[in-house]
Amino acid sequence: MLAARMHGYKQPLVIEDIKVPEILADQVLVRVGGAGMCRSDVQLIDGYFAEALQTKFPITPGHEIAGLISAIGDRVPESTQLAIGDQVVVAAGWGDSICRQCRLGNEQLCEHGSWPGFGPPGGYAEYVPVPYRQLIKIQHRLKWEELAPLTDAGVTPYRAIKKLRAAGVLGPDRVMAVFGASGLGSYAVQYAKLLSAGATVVVFARNDEKLAIAKERGADFTINTRGKSLADLHDELFKLTGKRKIDAAIDCVGAAETIQTGIGLLATAGAFVSVGLVGTRIDIPLFPFTAGELTYHGSFWANYADLQEVLALAQQGKIQHSIKKIRFQDVNENLEILRAGEIIGRAVIVFDVDADAAPDTDANTAQKPASAA
């Protein structure tokens, strides 16, 4: 099979022909149909996670994965109802199943866990082995380019906005802000409208084209932040909403500037949730944070149940997408475009896989089920 692999940091990926992976008895071999390209893939290549992950090269990136089942290990329970040819997505948090967070269902928070594309082979390849517990079968088939991004870009803001809802800061008399209007932000504005119980949704970003898409996705108002001070943003917010401050915010960027701006706009007892990871530190004034009884949430990826909920919405036609389809051989070129922040929406590598056709079954494209772990 073909795979795009890292052989070192700050180097282009190498597209090479390698052996189709053998699966363990509790694994499923997935023939990749679509693999979303995330900014964290660029960060992985650039060494952002080097100390935290301590992975060994070569690495096959790609954590937004959708595909067809090509082979099933012989210890995969029949109760899973998984079958050859099923369209599936990969839930990305692979925990140890025994820690507190895993038992609560938050495997993506497991201290001993792993994530495909950050150690275990990811979706920048034609086939990927996956533990059966991490697969979700799609009942009503979707396009690969619409399905793959839901496993990260399309579910991460969903979990975060659920945190804001639980904090009690959403409702018909509230103003909710979305910072960033690219991959995550395009989905965040849709979930803001679905989950905020009638709150006014305002999107803040620096790109007019991305802001226009956010308006199409349901934003009540948009504000271009380029060159504007915090006082300017207070004034513009007042003109649009009648309020100078926001009650809730989701930051899909994670830069120092967006965090400081969001906290600076937050009303008394407001809540802010971060999902973006452009920067490396949080630097906000302590007294206003404490005296205003503000709340800051971190929100990392999503769990299996979150993804199931998002997939249900998608299969009901309630999620819109802004997608750039990528050919596998153009992966490095588009990583550079992604690095520059110039991709509108989500880039998705789409493999030549017909979702309505049975997968290949010869020795070169599908492994026989394993007999032992």
Residue 121 belongs to some domain of the structure: yes
* 269 shares a domain with 140: no
Q: Which residue type, as a one-letter code, is found at position 226?
A: R
* 310 shares a domain with 231: no
| H or E element in which residue 144 lies | helix 144-147
- Domain total for the chain? 2
Residue 370 belongs to some domain of the structure: no
* 280 shares a domain with 205: yes
The predicted-structure confidence for 269-311, as pLDDT tens digits, reads as follows: 999 999 999 988 999 999 999 999 999 999 999 999 999 999 9
Residue 360 belongs to some domain of the structure: no
Residue 363 belongs to some domain of the structure: no
CA 80 from centroid of its chain's CA atoms: 25
CATH number at residue 232: 3.40.50.720
Q: How many CB atoms lie within 10 A of CB 281?
A: 6
* 135 shares a domain with 29: yes
For the chain, the average pLDDT equals 93
Question: Is residue 239 a contact partner of residue 223, using CB atoms and an 8 Å limit?
Answer: no
* 128 shares a domain with 27: yes
Q: What local confidence, expressed as pLDDT, does residue 155 receive?
A: 98
Angle formed at CA 301 by CA 297 and CA 306, multiple of 5 degrees: 100
- Cα–Cα distance measured from residue 294 to residue 289, given in angstroms and rounded to the nearest whole number: 5
Residue 318 belongs to some domain of the structure: yes
The residues with which 28 forms a beta bridge, in sequence order, are 72, 130
The predicted-structure confidence for 140-173, as pLDDT tens digits, reads as follows: 999 999 999 999 999 999 999 999 999 999 999 9
* 145 shares a domain with 252: no
Residue 59 belongs to some domain of the structure: yes
* 276 shares a domain with 138: no
* 318 shares a domain with 224: no
State pTM to two decimals: 0.92
The predicted-structure confidence for 30-67, as pLDDT tens digits, reads as follows: 999 999 999 999 999 999 998 888 788 999 999 999 99
CATH number at residue 82: 3.90.180.10
Which residue, of 298, 325, 341, is where some domain finishes?
A: 298
* 106 shares a domain with 86: yes
Residue 355 belongs to some domain of the structure: no
- Cα–Cα distance measured from residue 213 to residue 211, given in angstroms and rounded to the nearest whole number: 5
Among 184, 166, 201, CA closest to 271: 166
Question: Is residue 224 a contact partner of residue 205, using CB atoms and an 8 Å limit?
Answer: yes
Domain range holding 18?
Answer: 2-153+303-350
* 176 shares a domain with 116: no
* 224 shares a domain with 339: no
- 373 pLDDT band, cuts 50/70/90, is very low
Q: Are strands 27-37 and 346-350 parallel, antiparallel or unpaired?
A: antiparallel
* 239 shares a domain with 331: no
Beta strands in the chain (DSSP E): 2-5, 14-17, 27-37, 64-72, 87-90, 127-131, 135-137, 175-179, 200-205, 221-224, 246-251, 266-274, 295-298, 323-326, 346-350
- Cα–Cα distance measured from residue 349 to residue 370, given in angstroms and rounded to the nearest whole number: 29
Among 255, 262, 242, CA closest to 164: 262
Q: Which residue type, as a one-letter code, is found at position 305?
A: A
Residue 361 belongs to some domain of the structure: no
Question: Is residue 51 a contact partner of residue 81, using CB atoms and an 8 Å limit?
Answer: no
